[in-house]
Amino acid sequence: MNTSKKYFTIKEVAKILGVTPLTLRNWDKKGELKAYRNPINNYRLYKPEEIELFLRKIESRKEPGGKIFLG
């Protein structure tokens, strides 16, 4: 992951995590992966360190078969 960027867009994060932007919006509503909002256009933005923390969190939730349980 390119950590030199200060923020990632919802489209970039969806690609990194292999999910749809709608899934990210749902996770944001549930508090699973909170997005920051651009003060000008209100777009969702994600900090690289928050994405890495989320990835570590879901890695610890993996079931023995490799499936991820998010709640």
CATH number for 29:
1.10.1660.10
Q: Label residue 13 exposed, middle or buried (CB < 10 Å: 0-12, 13-18, 19+).
A: buried
19-29 mean pLDDT: 96
In a domain, 49, yes or no: yes
pLDDT at residue 1 in the model:
60
Name the pTM for this structure: 0.76
Residue 52 belongs to a domain: yes
Indicate the number of domains in the chain: 1
Residue 70 domain flag: no
pLDDT score of 26 more than 80: yes
Residues 6+ apart with CB under 8 A from 4: none
